[in-house]
Structure 1
Amino acid sequence: MEERDMTDSGNFAEEGDEEIMLVEDEETKQEATEVVQERAKTADAEALQELNNKYLRLYAEFDNYKKRVNRDKEELSRYSNESLLYALLPVLDNLELALKHASCDPNTGVVQGVEITLKELQRTLEKFGLKRIEADGKEFDPAVHHAMMQVEREDMEEKMVAEELRAGYLYHEKVLRPSLVSVSVRPNKTEEDVQSE
Structure 2
Amino acid sequence: MNSHDPDIEPAEEKEIEVSDQLEAAEEESSAGEGDDSAALEAEVMKWKELALRTAADHENYRKRAAREREEAVRYSNQSLLEELLPILDNFEMGMQAAAQDQSSMIYVGMDMVRKQLNEFLNSCGVTEIESEGKAFDPNVHEAVSQEVAEGVDDGQIIRVMRRGFMLRDRLLRPATVVVAQSAEESDSEEN
TM-score bin, normalised by smaller chain: 0.7 to 0.9
**1:32-71 correspondence runs (5 A):** 36-71=32-67
| Post-superposition offset of 1:172 | 1.3
Compute the displacement of 1:64 (Å).
1.3
Judged with a 3 Å threshold, the aligned counterparts in structure 2 of structure 1 residues 33 and 117 are, in CA distance, closer, same or farther, namely: closer
The separation in 2 between residues aligned to 1:103 and 1:172, in whole angstroms, is: 31
The 3-state SS of whatever aligns with 1:101 is helix
2:69: which partner in 1?
73
Identity rate, percent? 32
SS at match of 1:164: strand
Return the index of the structure with the highest Cα Rg.
1
Work out the CA distance in 1 between the residues paired with 2:115 and 2:171. 21
1:153 to 1:104, Cα distance in 2 relative to 1, 3 A: closer
Q: Which runs of 5 or more structure 1 residues have no equivalent in the other structure?
A: 1-31, 192-197
Equivalent position of 2:25 in the other structure: none
Alignment partners' CA distance in 1, 2:29 and 2:130: 84
> Quick check: which one's helix share is greater?
2
Q: After the TM superposition, which residues 11-30 of structure 1 pair with which residues of structure 2 at under 5 Å, given as runs? A: none
User: Greater CA deviation, 39-48 or 150-159?
Assistant: 39-48
Letter in 2 for 1:150: Q
Shift of 1:94: 1.6
**SS of the residue aligned with 2:160?**
strand
Matches of residues 23-172 of structure 1 in structure 2 within 5 Å? 36-102=32-98, 104-172=100-168
Aligned-pair RMSD on alpha carbons? 2.2
Contact 2:99 2:107 in 1 (8 A): no
SS in 2 for 1:60: helix
CA distance in 1: counterparts of 2:156 and 2:29, whole angstroms:
89
Q: Deviation per CA, 1:55-105, whole angstroms, max 9, x where unpaired?
A: 111111111111221222122222111100000001211221111122542
Q: CA deviation at 1:169?
A: 0.6
Q: What is the TM-score of this pair, normalised by structure 1? A: 0.73
Paired residue secondary structure (1:175): strand
Match of 1:102, SS state, is helix
TM-score (normalizing by structure 2): 0.75
Inter-partner Cα distance in structure 2 for 1:91 and 1:100 = 14
CA offset digits 1:156-193 (Å, max 9, x no partner): 1111111101101111111111111111122359x9xx
Cα separation, partners in 2 of 1:44 and 1:183, compared to 1, 3 Å: same
* 2-structure distance, mates of 1:62, 1:44: 27
The residue identity in structure 1 corresponding to 2:79 is S
1:183 equivalenced with 2:179 (yes/no): yes
4+ aligned runs moved over 6 Å, structure 1: none
Residues 83 and 33 of structure 1: is their aligned pair in 2 closer, same or farther, counting only changes over 3 Å?
closer
* Residue of structure 2 in register with 1:10 after alignment: none
Residue 140 of structure 1 aligns to which amino acid in structure 2? F
